Amino acid sequence: MGGAGLLVATDILKSNLAAEAPNSSHSTMIGVPFEARERVRMGIIGVGGRGTSLLGELLGVENVEIKAICDIIPAKVAHAQKAVTDKGQPEPKAFTKGDWDFKNLTQLDLDIVYIATPWNWHVPMAVEAMKNGKHAAVEVPACTTLEECWQLVDTSEATRKHCVILENCCYGENEMMVLDMVRDGVFGEITHGEAAYLHDLRSIVTANEGEGLWRRFPHMQRNGNLYPTHGLGPVAHYMDIHRGDRFDYMVSVSSREASLSAYVKANFPDADPKRAEKYICGDMNTSIIKTLKGRTILLQHDVVNPRPYSRLNSIQGTKGMFADYPARIFIDAPKKEDWDSIDLFQEKYAHPLWKKTGELARKMGGHGGMDYVMNYRLMDCIKRGLIPDIDVYDAAAWSAPTPLSETSVAQNGASQKFPDFTRGKWNVRSQSQGFAL
Ligand SMILES: NC(=O)c1ccc[n+]([C@@H]2O[C@H](COP(=O)([O-])OP(=O)(O)OC[C@H]3O[C@@H](n4cnc5c(N)ncnc54)[C@H](O)[C@@H]3O)[C@@H](O)[C@H]2O)c1
C-alpha cells in the first residue's frame, strides 16, 4: 500500500488523538442543498472492482455524464472508457500518469468526483476534489484516523462542497423499509441496535490482484474494527444520529488473531512472502457504542473467519424489533413468541424509492440492487438541488469507530469519546429530511 496516508502503527495511534474539534470560522454543511442542475458531470478516481461497478450503475442513470476517469493502471481506464463510449457518451478524459495524476482530474469542469481507491487515498483525493470546487463521493470507510475525519469535515465546511460517503447499505431494500417503520413508530421507542460486517474475505485479501494488493496490510498494522460503516450507517439512520442523537462513546475488544494466518499457512507455499507476514488484527472485533440519548449499538467486524455473510442489521424498541439474516420482525402481542416474515409489512412500508427504481435496480445487480438505488438517489439529489441524505458529518462519525476501536483495544477496552463532528449541531435537523423524496 504505497503513497498517501501510509502510516506506521505509532503514527496511526498518534493521529487517533486528534479527537477535539479544531476551531472553525466556517458554518455548518448540515442542511445545505446541492446546486440544482440538469446534468451531472462526473469524474471517477479508481476503476478497480468497485469503481467499475459504480460506473456501470451511473451509466444507467439519466443525465449523468462521465467526463474523466483516473487509475494508475492504464488498462483499467481504457476498459472504463470503453464502457462509457459503448453507452453512447463521448470518451472520458484519461488520467493514468501515476499516483498523483488525480490532481489533474480535479482541475476539470466537473460537478462531483467519485473516489473508489484503497483506503489510504480517500482523504487526499476527497480534499483535493473539494478544494477544486467539486463535491466528493467517497467509498467506505471515508477515512481511517480521527485526524482524517476532521480533515474531511474542515474541508467540506471551508469549501462549501459536500463530502458524501457512498454507504450503499443505507439504500438496501430492507434498510429503507425498516427506516420508515422506525419513523412510523412500529417498534416503539428505539433503545438498541446491532450492526456488523461479518464477511469471509480470506481469499480476496490474499489474492495477487484487486484488494489483495492493499487490503491485507491494515491487518498487519491495526487491531480494531477496520470496516465499520456497512453495518453502522443503516443503524445510525434508524437512531437519527445527527438528526437528534449522536454517538457519545464506545468500548472495544478484539479476539486473538488466528484465522488469517492459518489460511495463509494452509494455502501458500513456504516461499510465498505472505507466509512471513504478521497479522495483529484480532479475528473478531466487538464494540459497544452508547449514544447521547442512552441507546446502545453492538458493532462487530470479522472478515477472516469461515462463516456466512451478515451485517446483523437489527433494531430494538419498546414495541418490537427487526433483525436481518434472515430478515424478520417481531411485534409485541399477548402470547406472541415467534418472528414474522418481513414480507407481511411490504405492502404498507416498501420504500417509494424502491417502488420506483427497484425493478431496474435488481436487474443492474450491485448487491441486490442497493448500489443502483444509492447512485440513482445521489444523482437525483444533485439534479434537483436537494440536501444529501448522507453528509460529511455522517461520513466522519460512521468511519470514526476504526480509530476509536483501535485505541480502546490497545487500552484493554477503555471507553473512547466520539468527537462531535457537527460542532454542537447534531440536534438542529429533523429526521424527516433524510431520504425525503
Ligand atoms: N460499498 C461497497 O459495497 C464496496 C465494495 C467493495 C469495495 N468498496 C470500497 O471501494 C474502494 C475500492 O475497492 P476495490 O474493491 O475497488 O479495490 P480495487 O483494488 O479493486 O480497486 C482500487 C483501484 O484504485 C486504483 N488506485 C490505487 N491507487 C490509485 C491512485 N493513487 N490513483 C488512481 N487510482 C488508484 C487501483 O489501481 C485500483 O484499480 C475501497 O475503499 C473499498 O473499501 C466498497
Q: How far is the centre of ligand 1, averaged over its atoms, from the C-alpha of 75 (Å)? A: 15
* Average pLDDT over every residue of 393-403: 98
Confidence at residue 7, expressed as pLDDT on a 0 to 100 scale: 54
Out of 20-24, 272-276, 433-437, the most confident range is 272-276
Distance between CA atoms of 146 and 19, rounded to whole angstroms? 6
- Cβ–ligand 1 distance for 211 under 6 Å, the answer yes
Confidence at residue 430, expressed as pLDDT on a 0 to 100 scale: 73
Atom of ligand 1 nearest to the CA of 122: 41
Q: Is the dihedral of CA 330, 333, 338, 342 positive or negative?
A: negative
Distance separating the N- and C-terminal Cα atoms of the chain = 40
* Average pLDDT over every residue of 31-43: 97
Q: How far is the centre of ligand 1, averaged over its atoms, from the C-alpha of 430 (Å)? A: 34
Atom of ligand 1 nearest to the CA of 102: 32
Q: How confident is the model at residue 431 (pLDDT cuts 50, 70, 90)?
A: low
Return the H-helix or E-strand segment holding 177: helix 173-183
Question: Omega into 141 within 30° of 0, i.e. cis?
Answer: yes
Q: Which cell goes with 294?
A: 442512552
Distance between CA atoms of 282 and 296, rounded to whole angstroms? 23
**DSSP letter assigned to residue 38:** S
What digits encode the pLDDT tens for the residues 144-180? 999 999 999 999 999 999 999 999 999 999 999 999 9
- Cβ–ligand 1 distance for 171 under 6 Å, the answer no
Atom of ligand 1 nearest to the CA of 367: 3
Confidence at residue 405, expressed as pLDDT on a 0 to 100 scale: 98
Distance between CA atoms of 235 and 246, rounded to whole angstroms? 12
Q: What are the start-end ranges of the E strands in 87-239?
A: 93-95, 112-115, 135-138, 163-165, 190-198
- Cβ–ligand 1 distance for 116 under 6 Å, the answer yes
Residues in the chain: 437
- Cβ–ligand 1 distance for 232 under 6 Å, the answer no
pLDDT above 60 for 130? yes
What digits encode the pLDDT tens for the residues 193-238? 999 999 999 999 999 999 999 999 999 999 999 999 999 999 999 9
Q: How confident is the model at residue 1 (pLDDT cuts 50, 70, 90)?
A: very low
What digits encode the pLDDT tens for the residues 68-110? 999 999 999 999 999 999 999 999 999 999 999 999 999 999 9
Q: Which cell goes with 157?
A: 465546511
Q: pLDDT exceeding 70 applies to what percent of the chain?
A: 93
- Cβ–ligand 1 distance for 95 under 6 Å, the answer no
Q: How confident is the model at residue 2 (pLDDT cuts 50, 70, 90)?
A: very low
Using CA atoms, how far residue 31 sits from 57, 127, 222, 389, in Å, is 27, 20, 35, 10
- Cβ–ligand 1 distance for 71 under 6 Å, the answer yes
- Cβ–ligand 1 distance for 168 under 6 Å, the answer yes
Q: What residues contact 155, with CB distance under 8 A and at least 6 apart? A: 126, 127, 130, 131, 161, 163
